[in-house]
Every structure is written in structure tokens, then in C-alpha cells.
Amino acid sequence: GENVEQHPSTLSVQEGDSAVIKCTYSDSASNYFPWYKQELGKGPQLIIDIRSNVGEKKDQRIAVTLNKTAKHFSLHITETQPEDSAVYFCAASGSGTASKLTFGTGTRLQVTL
Amino acid sequence: NAGVTQTPKFQVLKTGQSMTLQCAQDMNHEYMSWYRQDPGMGLRLIHYSVGAGITDQGEVPNGYNVSRSTTEDFPLRLLSAAPSQTSVYFCASTPQGAGTEAFFGQGTRLTVV
């Protein structure tokens, strides 16, 4: 089955700096790569996703890049703000109706003033 | 729309007791899944369902049962609780398989003593 590795496990940045979280996956058949943000006491919420036919996707201060050859994808957050502090999860899945979503182990991001 | 609703939010069980974690969604999603979240291990798939009457095992199914008699409901049953099942449990639903946005409930924090 799919295996997703995520690094780093914790990340501390100063407000205004950029943050980068990296993930690798093992199954070359995976073609959907979402990123979820989990705030304390809440369920994960999708913040951005990318499919294998796209190399990069941006949404305001967040962007995701995908390198299918190397089987890795990254989340980039620019101009970080205190409200970006949360746990971030990457994930990977195929697109079939019976496919499964496999998550990385999470990155705790802390944005300090 | 309420989205995905999980009950209860908190539960303490004694070893050997059984219980059912409830999950309901009002978005008419076909695909539903249960995850457990443990420190340092991300979210791990327990069971999933691609539609009413169809369920399948995920990564960590032992000790858990599921059924899907309606599109809306996907309960998770603990047959004989063990301390190793102490975790936070999340239910999620997606419109079409794992390759689309997953909507998570608020979670159930379960402690088995």
C-alpha cells in the first residue's frame, strides 16, 4: 500500500517568514495530493490540493508543488501569520472510487511574533 | 448543512466494554471513512465505505466493526475496548472516493482505562 513520509515534524518560524513542509510518497499510481490543516480540538480541513497532471498550484499565500518523478510534494506558506499556527498533514490517494487516502504523520507549525 | 456530525465528543470506557461511535453526514456523499489519530502517527484509516451496503478494511481494522445501512450514517463499533484503542477518532465523508476533498467531523476523544 501507499506510504507517505512527512518532514519536519515540528517547525517554528517568525511571523512574516516562509514555511516549507515536504512529503514523499511510495505508490506511483497515486494522483491526488491534498494538504489539510488541523487546529486544536478540531477536525482536519482541506487547504489546498494538487493532481498529478499539475506541477504547481497557488492560492493566495499558500502553494503546493509536485514532482512526480521524484515522488515528492511540498507545501509552501509565505508571509506567515499567527493564525497559520496549526498541525498540517499531507496525504496521497488514487482516483478510483475504492481508493484510500493515506496521510503523513503531520507537521506542527508555530508562528512566533 | 451540518456537514459531518460525530457523537459523542468525549468517552471513557473500561477495558472490555463495547460502544458505538456515531457519524452522520447530510451532504449526500457516497464515500465515508473512519480514522484514528495518535501522537506522531498521523491519521490512520480504520474502515471505509464507498456506498450504502459496502464497507472495507483500512490500515488498522482490528477490534472495530462498521456497517453502512444508509448513505447518511456510518457508525464505528468497538467490540471489546482495549487501552490500545485510546485515541481520537475522526469520521470523514467525500463526494466521490478518496480523490476528492474529505470533510471531517469534530472528532471523538476516547479513553479506555
Interface subset of B 56-95, CB within 8 angstroms of A: 56, 58-59, 90, 92
- Provide the Cα torsion B110, B47, B59, A72; round to 10°: -100
Question: What is the Cα–Cα distance from A26 to A104, expressed in whole angstroms?
Answer: 12
Amino acid A56: pLDDT? 95
The count of CB pairs under 8 A between chains A and B is 72
In chain A (113 residues long), the average pLDDT of successive 10-residue segments reads: 95 98 95 96 96 92 96 98 98 84 96 94
Is B23 an 8 Å CB contact of chain A? no
The 10s digit of each residue's pLDDT in B30-56 is: 999 999 999 888 999 999 999 999 999
> What's the rounded Cα separation, in Å, for the pair A110 and A7?
14
The CA distance from A4 to B43, in Å, is 11
pLDDT band at B2 (very low <50, low <70, confident <90, very high): confident
Give the mutation candidate from B21, B38, B43 for the A interface (greatest A CB count, under 10 A).
B43
Residue with cell 490517494: A93
Report the amino acid identity of residue A71: K
- Which residues does chain A have within 8 Å of residue B68's beta carbon, measured at their own beta carbons? none
Decide if A73 contacts A33 (C-beta within 8 A): yes
For chain B, give the mean pLDDT.
Answer: 95
Helices (H), chain B: none
B40, B50, B105 ranked by CB distance to A43: nearest: B105
Report chain B's C-alpha Rg in angstroms. 13
